[in-house]
Chains A and B, each alone.
Chain A
């Protein structure tokens, strides 16, 4: 326990937090744009699993981690397309459709992945130090000595923030989630845009799966996301539907995950079963606190979240 809380130790935990939080971050951003469009997708866990499988499988098949990442994007998009079809096209219950997606994705990934369980992928996203930036004291070690996927996720946070809050397309995205009737009257095709964002959100969640199977936990194992998809859904509330806050939340969870292993290796006298509970308990705590904050500061969810838009019902 002597090397505990030294600067080196803290910096290495923070760097590990960013690495471990990236999978959750991708999934959280995917859910974020989905919810911004007014659709709740509880299938993120199942989508991430399919993404993790497609990532590992694509990489084993082609030898390239980038091909794996592409496969994960496609798998995630395909899974989310089911949700879009049911919830946007056919106005099915979004909660139940999302749960069905998670059950389906868990079963399908276990079935399709039966032959590559535990097989190490021939390549993965390894650490790349960014010239100059990696030399910055402390921050360089935490943010710029990471894998390519981490850089992609950071760029995505910046891009999505700009897109949602600073562009016309982003304004339309917010409109279909807040006031679909008004957006419709403005000439926006609500159903088509919603479906598009659901599918893109699914693609990001799929990539989140690949950030595990080609990044921090290389290879495919059944149920390897271990609830990270659900944590991502909870984090969207913490993030108040803002990409920058989503990054903060995802790294917080990455920190809990990384810290848990460090505590174990540091010989902390607590059963590993209890340490493993930490991310889940922490999620509940974060959810309760952020729900309270959201109510107090009126950082509400998109007003039409979870509600199918029925043009026929419009006055």
Chain B
């Protein structure tokens, strides 16, 4: 083994692969990565002259201190969950779709277009399903572009899907500043409000809306699909062992297209539910980066639909806490993405402990 002839023949540590990580170890690493990221974030905060404990307490209070805070967490869970599910299904196939942000915008654009121009006078039971379909379609088509470029030209979907985010956001800015702009509106540019029939119903007097249910239903359907259908099985095989999939005659190209379309459609539904459930119009800065946080939702949730539900909720709490910091302490909300990135680092580092174990060898 050792081809290093120099050096003392002392005990050396080495990593040895563990056949399959236990569930307990996986859960422990996930919890630990959260804790360590908060610790590391605390150090950064302290170095920047803030009191980390006060900052974290303010974040917890902002997210869970009262009814509005909790409601806001659930409001933010909705887009994080839907985009996270979309990203997770693509990642399962080793398709690195990081274009959820742009796919979300196209879902919002299509849904808004249907509400404002195609069926403006339709009753709710027609308009809402039509807007859902439009949102799925808008996001799905936008996701199909990097899928097609990958399937037919071999172009990296990482780059193309990301580049398309910028294009989608710029196009939506063009719409709200230009042809779709509400001429009677003051302040932030946006489209005229959607007809009230297209608004998603809220839970009581809170801002929580039907979109949350879309997310939960989507998680359940996805779980069934991945676990119980032949298609779900094929996605897993193509992700883990593309060669075996090829030899087994699985339709790789078609599956790339379908998975990217499904991934984009879920993000598109997030965009639809943001315009129909929250803003009731297409506006600038529709998403504060849900499509990027979705990557964390997917990976931290172990690409499992129910894992995504849990992580989306946690990240939503982090986001709401971060927003509260901005409002109450004047600190930038960027603390939230900073912590999200750190969580992912620690998770990636910690995963090694579930996949390998340290052994001592005499070398």
Instruction: Tell me the chain A residues, 136-184 only, with Cβ under 8 Å from chain B.
Output: 184
Tell me if B178 is interfacial: C-beta within 8 Å of chain A: yes
Taking CB atoms, residues of chain B closer than 8 Å to A280 are 163-164, 166-167
Taking CB atoms, residues of chain A closer than 8 Å to B48 are 111-112
Taking CB atoms, residues of chain A closer than 8 Å to B356 are 91
Q: Do B153 and A108 have beta carbons less than 8 Å apart?
A: no
How many chain B residues have a CB neighbour from A under 8 Å? 51
Tell me if B26 is interfacial: C-beta within 8 Å of chain A: no
Q: B-side binding surface: helix, strand, loop or mixed?
A: helix
Taking CB atoms, residues of chain B closer than 8 Å to A102 are 341
One digit per residue, 1 when the CB lies within 8 angstroms of any chain B CB and 0 when it does not, for chain A 102-132 equals 1111111011101000000000000000000
Taking CB atoms, residues of chain A closer than 8 Å to B201 are none
Q: Do A107 and B174 have beta carbons less than 8 Å apart?
A: no
Tell me if A295 is interfacial: C-beta within 8 Å of chain B: yes
Taking CB atoms, residues of chain A closer than 8 Å to B341 are 46, 100-108
Tell me if B226 is interfacial: C-beta within 8 Å of chain A: no
Selected interface stretch from A8-16, A18-26, A82-90: A82-90
Tell me if B182 is interfacial: C-beta within 8 Å of chain A: no
A273-B177 Cα distance, complex, nearest whole Å: 10
A137 to chain B, nearest CB (A): 37
Instruction: Tell me the chain A residues, 222-268 only, with Cβ under 8 Å from chain B.
Output: 222, 226-227, 230-231, 233-234, 237
Q: Do B17 and A227 have beta carbons less than 8 Å apart?
A: no
Determine the residue in chain B with the shortest Cβ distance to A292.
B153
Q: Do B17 and A234 have beta carbons less than 8 Å apart?
A: no
Q: Do A271 and B332 have beta carbons less than 8 Å apart?
A: no
Taking CB atoms, residues of chain B closer than 8 Å to A92 are 348-349, 351-352
Q: Do A283 and B163 have beta carbons less than 8 Å apart?
A: yes
A133-B203 Cα distance, complex, nearest whole Å: 72
Tell me if A5 is interfacial: C-beta within 8 Å of chain B: no
Tell me if A62 is interfacial: C-beta within 8 Å of chain B: no
Q: Do A291 and B348 have beta carbons less than 8 Å apart?
A: no
Q: Do B170 and A273 have beta carbons less than 8 Å apart?
A: yes
Q: Do B349 and A86 have beta carbons less than 8 Å apart?
A: yes
Taking CB atoms, residues of chain B closer than 8 Å to A108 are 44, 334, 338, 341
Determine the residue in chain B with the shortest Cβ distance to A186.
B3
The answer, among A107, A234, A288, for a CB contact under 8 Å with B334, is A107
Chain A residues with CB under 8 Å of chain B are 42, 46, 82, 85-86, 90-93, 95-97, 99-108, 110-112, 114, 184-185, 187, 222, 226-227, 230-231, 233-234, 237, 271, 273-274, 276-277, 280-281, 283-284, 287-288, 291-292, 295, 312-313
Q: Which 9 A-B pairs have the closest CB atoms?
A: A104-B341, A107-B337, A107-B338, A110-B334, A273-B174, A100-B344, A92-B348, A103-B341, A280-B163
A–B Cβ pairs within 8 angstroms, 20 of them:
A46-B341, A90-B348, A92-B349, A96-B295, A96-B299, A97-B344, A102-B341, A103-B292, A103-B295, A103-B296, A106-B341, A107-B338, A108-B338, A112-B48, A222-B334, A276-B170, A288-B149, A291-B155, A295-B154, A312-B15
